[in-house]
């Protein structure tokens, strides 16, 4: 058997299914399989291939500030699904976008929660304060995953875990798999924190564009509610993560800087691949979902 494509459908789907055992499980699969040594052994092989490719395909380095700095400057013009949808996307494309994103957003915050026991002091306090917001700050109906489910209903999509996994190509699964990989390995806590910081830093302007897309296309208010929440919350989260989490974590464990940089760069790489796939399909007049 040849080496599997690290970004290919087989590897990413297999990883996604192996990780699913740690979240909501899989229909018809014994929950005990979560700690089945054979599953874990196989998963480990896939993770090594994925991680090795990410290390090769990113620039690397250990300057966390330098790698985040360009992300803080919002370009006046850009490309990517949120730019496209805000201007000339169709309602069908918006539905596709939400179906892809549901793989993560119906469990928003969960992969990152695995990181909590691996942190200490101010870094931990800052991290948890961001997570507190992701989980609705004590109100179930305000959890971001719930706001996302409301938005799916508004678009006549089914807000059910795993519902769109079959339709999701590898480019959709890969960024979510990276979250699980970073969350489930203590040794990769730097990668997890880097990807999380990247998402929070870039989320606010992207959410603004998606809110505009919903205002134009959805005919309801749930989508705007979800993205407007992120415009405001993530502007604050960005500050908390950089000044509270990253500053304290790197003061305690300076050797994690390389992995934080990897998390930022790998997260960006996978987001770019996802975005390029969607734009490529839409420009060709095709669906970006598998079916």
The residue assigned the tokens 């490309």 is 79
Which residue has the CB atom at the shortest distance from Fe ion? 144
Q: Are 181 and 205 in contact (CB under 8 A)?
A: no
Closest approach of Fe ion to the CB of residue 132, in Å: 10
**Of the two residues 135 and 282, which places its CB atom closer to Fe ion in the complex?**
135
Nearer to Fe ion, 15 or 119 (CB): 119
**Segment interacting with Fe ion, rule: CB under 5 A, options 116-124, 177-185, 226-234, 269-277:** 226-234
Report d(CA 233, CA 80) in Å as an integer.
22
Window contacting Fe ion (CB under 5 A); options: 39-47, 81-89, 158-166, 230-238: 230-238
Distance from C-alpha of 231 to C-alpha of 210, rounded to nearest angstrom = 10
Binding mask 236-255 for Fe ion (x = CB under 5 A): -x------------------
What's the CA gap between 133 and 135, in Å, rounded? 5
| Number of residues this chain uses to bind Fe ion (CB under 5 A) | 5
Tell me how far, at minimum, the Cβ of 108 lies from Fe ion, in Å.
5
Among 234, 248, 259, 271, the residue binding Fe ion under the rule CB under 5 A is 234
Site for Fe ion in 190-209 (CB under 5 A): 200
Of 12 and 180, CB closest to Fe ion? 180
Residues 110, 134, 154, 259: which binds Fe ion (CB under 5 A)? 134
Interacting stretch for Fe ion, rule CB under 5 A, among 119-127, 130-138, 166-174, 190-198? 130-138
Query: Closest CB to Fe ion among 45 and 137?
Result: 137
Which residues have CB under 8 Å from 88's CB, separation 6+?
A: none
The DSSP element (H or E) to which 52 belongs, if any, is helix 37-57
The rounded radius of gyration (Å) of the Cα atoms in the chain is: 18
Indicate whether 110 belongs to the interface with Fe ion (CB under 5 A).
no
Residue 18 or 199: the one with the smaller Cβ distance to Fe ion is 199
DSSP string across 231-288? HHHHHHHHHIIIIIIIHHHHHH-GGGHHHHHHHHHHHHHHHHHHHHHHHHHHHTT--S
Q: Across the chain, how many H-helices and E-strands are there? A: 13, 0
Footprint of Fe ion (CB under 5 A): 134, 144, 200, 234, 237
């Amino acid at each position: 058997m040849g080496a599997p494509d690290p970004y290919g459908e087989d590897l990413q789907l297999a990883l996604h299914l192996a990780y699913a055992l740690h979240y909501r499980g899989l229909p018809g699969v014994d929950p005990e399989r979560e700690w089945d040594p054979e599953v874990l052994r196989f998963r480990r092989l896939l993770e090594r291939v994925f991680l090795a490719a990410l290390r090769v395909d990113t620039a690397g380095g250990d300057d966390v500030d330098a790698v985040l700095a360009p992300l803080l400057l919002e370009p006046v013009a850009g490309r990517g699904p949120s730019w496209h949808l805000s201007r000339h996307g169709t309602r069908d494309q918006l539905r596709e976008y939400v179906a892809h994103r549901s793989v993560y957003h119906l469990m928003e915050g969960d992969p990152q929660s695995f990181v909590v026991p691996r942190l200490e002091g101010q870094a931990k306090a800052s991290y948890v304060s961001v997570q507190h917001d992701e989980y609705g700050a004590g109100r179930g109906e305000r959890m971001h995953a719930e706001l996302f489910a409301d938005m799916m209903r508004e678009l006549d999509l089914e807000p059910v875990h795993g519902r769109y996994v079959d339709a999701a190509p590898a480019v959709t699964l890969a960024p979510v798999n990276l979250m699980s990989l970073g969350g489930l390995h203590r040794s990769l806590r730097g990668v997890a924190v880097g990807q999380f910081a990247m998402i929070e830093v870039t989320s606010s302007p992207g959410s603004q564009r998606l809110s505009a897309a919903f205002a134009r296309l959805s005919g309801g208010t749930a989508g705007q509610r979800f993205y407007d929440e992120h415009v405001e919350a993530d502007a604050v989260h960005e500050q908390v993560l950089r000044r509270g989490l990253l500053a304290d974590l790197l003061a305690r464990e300076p050797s994690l800087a390389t992995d934080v940089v990897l998390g930022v760069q790998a997260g960006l790489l996978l987001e770019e691949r996802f975005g390029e796939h969607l734009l490529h399909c839409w420009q060709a007049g095709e669906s970006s979902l598998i079916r």
